[in-house]
Amino acid sequence: MTSTCPDANTPQASDSNAVINISCYKFVPLDNLPALRDTIREEAVRLNLRGTVLLSNEGINLFVAAQRNELSQFVTFLRQDPRFSDLQPKESLNTYQPFNRMLVKIKKEIIAFGIESVDPVRETSPKLSAKELKQWLDDGRKVHLLDVRNDYEYDLGTFDSAIKMGLDHFREFPDAVARLPETMRHEPIVMFCTGGIRCEKAGPFMEQAGFEHIYQLDGGILKYFEEVGGDHYHGECFVFDQRVAVDPNLKETPTTQCYVCQAVVNSDDQKSPRYVPGVSCPACYLDESDRMALLLQHRSVQLHAAVQPLPGSQPYFNNRPLNIPERFDGMTLLDCLDHWHPQVGREEWEQRIRNSMIAPSQPHSRRIRRRKSPQVQLPLSPDRIVRSGERFDHLLPGTVEPDVRSDVQFLFEDEQLIVIQKPAPLPMHPCGRYSRNTLRHFLNQIYYPERPHMVHRLDANTSGVLLLCRRKAVARQVQPLFEHRQVEKLYVARVHGCPDSDEFICTAGIGRLPEEGGLRSVDDAEGDDACTEFRVLRRYDDGTSLIEAKPLTGRTNQIRAHLWHLGFPICGDPAWLRDGCLGENRTLSIDEPVMCLHAYRITLEIPERGRMTFEASMPDWAVAGTLSGIAGTGSSSNVAISESIS
């Protein structure tokens, strides 16, 4: 079964400089497809052709372009195979090469349909020539014109009164046929497509489905244009190359295609402000809020893939770098580690040193090899003197990290900024027992190869809004705003006790370095200057209060330390406890009650962008009358709290 199209040597295109486009297909049994593919590809490359040739056991389908001489040689080459001896390509002119490369591919079907009972090699529907169809339409003969192409092709142009099947893909055709009126089963139907190949399968399928009078337009719309022009047809015809569409004279039109959504964009649509080549067209344009919603939804999907399971939940060889700070210069290795990370314990550090778990840092390439196959290291002496800037590796084989909360919420993103709502407990950076189960690791996986820059911090046990920069240049603008106290940060905290005053302030100094238990000292006279303003939002019957905190300085643990100093420690804080007691500044387990401190709003003015405010939703403990049973940091829609904060 062949297409009835003019020979490739037809005088239609006499311009020797023109690029000729040819297309044709033939349903014929083929075997030994890999060898056939290689032979056709070799000849096509030799002749400098571009386009696509599809091969399958059911036949061949091709659309290629080149100068006339090369195309004639290619058609002659194909016809030397007895199976292709009667190929009759259709052709059209072009002023440039409409294909980027030459592909010869083996497919299951040369036109995807998926119905095994339909075999055009054995049987097709009766064909109606272009001239016959025109005569039928001129005479006003009663006939249904069925467009079997996809909807975007139909919308660009079709025959007058043609039926739109509602297809996004040809595989949907059987379902669309089932929706046709029952009366059409006994009435004449002429189906058509671009070049006729889809009708070779659509026609027999409809006959099998009980439609009695099926015809297919021989050669499709392109053959109709060639033989009779555009009578009874309105619009253009979509073609599958860089031309996008041709008119009834088979000449390329100004119509293009959106590279984002693949929608056809005609001349009128190209004048729309919603058409930005490579960005959007009227069909896929989204306003800023819709675009943002889709992007944030995509980030949530990426996050789920990155944290299910948590990356630190499987044993791995962990190599933690230790870069000796200047303040430890001249100390012994043991004293340095004990002062630096006292929460580990001096005896534990000494044991790790003697077990070669602390080793001189190796070049990066050697560290990578050691991760795969750790080598035995000669133990260092705990009394070894260390120097500022010296680097060691902390080797931790078989590391399994504690679970953390991973339900990061993405609030805002553009080409410069990322704003998220961090859950708790979740460390931001590798520290202590955490390396992979950290916000840094999660985001690096999601945004790879980018590494978002963290320009401010939240404690592992603190939830809330966090701003990151996507590029160093942006971070260099934004980070100084935090350092120079030009960012307004607001927190809410649930505290033990009920302050007498609705508003109060704390200016107690905060120690620069952590002391025993990883805590910083709090003293009215000593320590770095620190100032926090507080406002009572609610007083609860259980003896707790909801307080808004506005830090005017940015000292580490400032809000927690100030509230404890004033006698109102934060509920769930493992370090600054009730009754003036102290614990350890550790990351909570996900099974423990949460620490009730939440960063809910930041406001800053970014150069060339103006004033920007980002706000997180409120956690459950901020609205519950009692803390009993509160174990998570889920958001709340409590309006009263939001109004009192505003």
Q: What percent of the chain has pLDDT over 70?
A: 91
Alpha carbon of 137 to those of 145, 232, 396: distances in Å? 10, 7, 82
Class of domain 127-267: alpha beta
Q: Quick one: which H or E segment has residue 206?
A: helix 197-208
Q: Residue 96 carries which side chain, given as an amino acid letter?
A: Y
| Nearest in space to 146 (alpha carbons), one of 119, 120, 123, 128 | 128
What Rg, from alpha-carbon coordinates, does the chain have? Answer: 36
Which pTM does this prediction carry? 0.62
Per-residue pLDDT, 9: 37
Domain residue extents for the chain: 19-106, 127-267, 331-399, 409-645
Q: Check residue 174 and report its DSSP letter.
A: H
Report the b/e string of 159-185 with b at 16+ CB within 10 A.
beebbebebeebeebbebbeebeeebe
CA–CA distance, 200 with 369 (Å, rounded to integer): 60
Which residues are known catalytic residues? 193
- Across the chain, what does the average pLDDT equal? 89
Using pLDDT thresholds of 50, 70 and 90, give the confidence band for residue 340: confident
CA–CA distance, 155 with 153 (Å, rounded to integer): 5
Give per-residue pLDDT as tens, 551-593: 999 899 999 999 999 999 999 999 999 999 999 889 999 999 9
Provide CATH code, domain 19-106. 3.30.70.100
| Nearest in space to 568 (alpha carbons), one of 592, 539, 541 | 539
Is 70 a residue whose pLDDT tops 50? yes
Backbone torsions φ then ψ of 248, nearest 5 degrees = -60, -15
Using pLDDT thresholds of 50, 70 and 90, give the confidence band for residue 67: very high
Q: Residue 245 carries which side chain, given as an amino acid letter?
A: A
Provide CATH code, domain 409-645. 3.30.2350.10
Using pLDDT thresholds of 50, 70 and 90, give the confidence band for residue 290: confident
- Winning range, highest mean pLDDT, from 138-142, 286-290, 315-319: 138-142
Sheet holding 127-128, edge to edge: 127-128, 214-217, 189-192, 144-147, 163-164
Is 377 a residue whose pLDDT tops 80? no
Per-residue pLDDT, 237: 95
